[in-house]
Structures are given as structure tokens and as C-alpha cells.
Amino acid sequence: MNVFNGADRVDEIKKAIKGTRVGLASGPAGVTKFLRPTLDVLLEIGHVTALYGPEHGIRGDVTAGDPISEYTDSRTGLPVYSLYGEQYAPDARQLENIDIMVYDMQDIGCRFFTYLSTLKHIMDSCARDGKQVVVLDRVNPIGGVSVEGNLQKEEFLSFVGVAPIPQRHGMTVGELAKLFNAELNIGCSLTVVEVTGWERSVFFDQTDLFWVFPSPNIPTPDTALVYSGTCLFEGTNMSEGRGTTKPFEIIGAPWIDEIEYAKALNSLCLPGVIFRPTVFRPSTSKHEGGVCRGVDLHISDRLLFKPVETGLAMIDIAREEGKDNFKWLEPCRKEERYFIDLLSGSDQLRAGAIGRAELYDIWANETEQFLPVREKYLIY
């Protein structure tokens, strides 16, 4: 399928930024169809005066969770302002030398991927300071049809859940920008440079686009597909596969019996997925250097696969198998709330007062509530 992202539509970009001072918020996947950095395109057609670095940095060289510093880009001499660290939104000083903020980041279709939070904070700041926002839209790599999960509750809003949308939202960043602008009453001056040639039912590997890591631990489109469910393990003491070649596709811990874990999960006959017992040794992150035992997810039918339902089941069985060994990560000093609550959008999962099936039904009802809201902002 011959697809062009917003970054490829140079004539439309020229119309949007003509005669203005431009700031660019982007990451390593901010490239054109033929892998030319969006920054190079903007430098050629406009007056770029500032860069803005999200999580992982403007060039993708920063580890997940590490703060980004303000610095001068050695190649262009432009200031790079941090949008991940001491602050998540650009302040007035950081916006004073631009007229338009161009946003070009590859989302992966999941609520807790922080590039969406960066988008929302950029829009808030630009609305406050009278700056325009231009979103260079990109395809949703896991398709734009399926929607799954609960809505983030207001008391659990955070940088890994910035708006009341489901875990798997089924939208592009351009569509979400329109939704944020209206439903969250941001009201910024917004232009979306649309994707051409893409249909909602199409997954990334069905296009002719090249996959570029949007962050270091999303190496493939398959990783993006499972992430909406298995990222929940970041709120536990189990390894989510960081430090392996299959982050978020391999899940385990030293105290798991990999044979029993896989057997229990396969007995649930979850749609579109098969679990293989595996043993691995993470080179970084949780249980670094130690032996972990767990499962490797294999997607047998991605149209049937439900990442959120799968993630809930994996956690439920891990709690049963692990007993007292299984722990939720305690809140850190900076954040009084449990990380699992921020990821899952409420404290329902951690509290465990509701069975998995009933909890999933509650979440499915919230998905249904979201669908008519979502419909208003779909472009494709």
C-alpha cells in the first residue's frame, strides 16, 4: 500500500508554515517515507528556530525514564528544549522565538505512550501563548479499527495517561489532536497535515513505509501491538522484557514456573495469541543479569488479538502463580500514586476486589462510551 505520512507532504507543510518561525517537536522516527529526517525537510523549506525533545530525546539516544537536558544541537546550532524531565510542557521562554510548533512523532496506538502526553502539553502551552500547532499525522501502526480498554479516571491522570481515552485508542495523532483540542477545551490554533493512502484497517507492515524505532524498546510493529496490554507489567516487580531482544513480548520473573505459567495462560484460549514458556536473562532494568522464567507471546491472529484482555489475564495468572512473590511497585518519592494505577487508569486492577472477567466487562462498557466521542474526530 503506497502511504505518505504528513512529513512527506511538503507542499501542505509549506502552506502551513509559510513565513513563520518554526519549532519542531520530534523524535528518531520523525522521518519521511525515504528516511529523511523531518528536521532536514523543515530546514530546507522554512525558518526553524528551536527544537523540542520528548522522552528518549530528539535523536532517540536517551534511555526510557531518563530526564532530557536543555542543550544546543551540535549539527544545527539550534537550542533543544526539554519536554521530559523537570517539566513536560514548554514554558513562555521556550516558545518566545517561534510562531508555529510542528509536532511529528510516531505514536503506537496506546494511551500510556508518552508522546501523546507531550502532544497534549504542547497544545496547552501554545494555546496559552498564542502559538499555532501543526501536527504531521502518521499512521496508527496497530490499525485504526480496534479500540479496547477503560477510560483514564481524572484522579489518575498523569504523564502516562493524560486524557480519558482507552488503552488502545484506535486513532492517529492527528485525530487525537482534534479530540484533545475540542473535548479537553484546549482551543489552540490547530492544523493537521493528513496521511494519504492509508485505510483504518491497515497495519504498519501492510504499508510500504519503513519502521523506525519510535523509542528504544519498541523495536518492531509486533511490539507496538502487544504494548497496550503487557506494558502493565511496568507497574509490577516482573520483567516486561526490557534488556532482551523482545521487550514487552517476553514477560517473566525469577520466581515464575514458566511451564505452569504458559499452561495456565493457554488454557484460557485468549483470542489470537499463544504463549510459549521461556527462560531469559535481562541485560538491563528489572532483574538485570538474573535468570527470569516466563512466557513469550506469539500472535496467531492480530485481528482477533486483544492486548488489554491479554495483559489483564497475564497479570491475574502471575498473581496466582507467584503468590507472595508478586508485588506491585511501591510509589516513588516524587509520585504518591502506584504506577500500576497510573498505567491502568484507576486503582481497580491493583485492589483486586473485582474478578478479571467482570473488570474487563466494566472496561469494555467504558470503551463503548468512548466510541461516539471518537467518531467525531476520525479523519480516515
Residue 75 sits in a domain whose CATH number is: 3.40.50.12170
Tell me, yes or no, whether 90 and 60 share the same domain: yes
Q: Confirm whether 366 is domain-assigned.
A: no
Return the pLDDT at 373. 98
- The count of structural domains within the chain is 2
Could you say which residues of the chain have pLDDT below 70? Answer: 56-57, 59-68, 333-335
Tell me, yes or no, whether 199 and 240 share the same domain: no
Tell me, yes or no, whether 209 and 241 share the same domain: no
- Count CB neighbours of 1 within 10 A: 11
Q: Confirm whether 360 is domain-assigned.
A: no
Tell me, yes or no, whether 38 and 138 share the same domain: yes
Tell me, yes or no, whether 185 and 254 share the same domain: no
Return the pLDDT at 19. 86
The residue to which cell 478479571 is assigned? 356
Per-residue cell: 84: 521530559
Tell me, yes or no, whether 146 and 253 share the same domain: no
Q: Could you list the residue range(s) of the whole structural domain that residue 264 is in?
A: 221-346
Q: Confirm whether 48 is domain-assigned.
A: yes
Tell me, yes or no, whether 192 and 262 share the same domain: no
Tell me, yes or no, whether 56 and 163 share the same domain: yes
Taking each helix axis from N to C terminus, what angle separates 307-322 and 356-375, rounded to the nearest 10 degrees? 160
User: In angstroms, rounded to a whole number, what is the distance separating the alpha carbons of residues 188 and 112?
Assistant: 23
Tell me, yes or no, whether 75 and 188 share the same domain: yes
Tell me, yes or no, whether 28 and 51 share the same domain: yes
What is the per-residue pLDDT across 145-180, written as a single tens digit (0 to 9) for each?
A: 999 999 999 999 999 999 999 999 999 999 999 999
Q: 323 near 317, Cβ under 8 Å? A: no
Which of 214, 249, 268 is the endpoint of a domain?
A: 214
Return the pLDDT at 334. 65
Which of 177, 193, 214 is the endpoint of a domain?
A: 214
Q: Confirm whether 371 is domain-assigned.
A: no
Q: Confirm whether 363 is domain-assigned.
A: no
Which of 214, 230, 250 is the endpoint of a domain?
A: 214
Q: Confirm whether 308 is domain-assigned.
A: yes
The residue to which cell 513536560 is assigned? 88
CATH code, 265: 3.90.1150.140
Tell me, yes or no, whether 23 and 155 share the same domain: yes
Return the pLDDT at 61. 56
Tell me, yes or no, whether 210 and 237 share the same domain: no
Q: 377 near 171, Cβ under 8 Å? A: yes
Q: Confirm whether 130 is domain-assigned.
A: yes
Count of CA atoms in the C-beta half-sphere (13 A) of 273: 28
Helix H or strand E segment including 318: helix 307-322
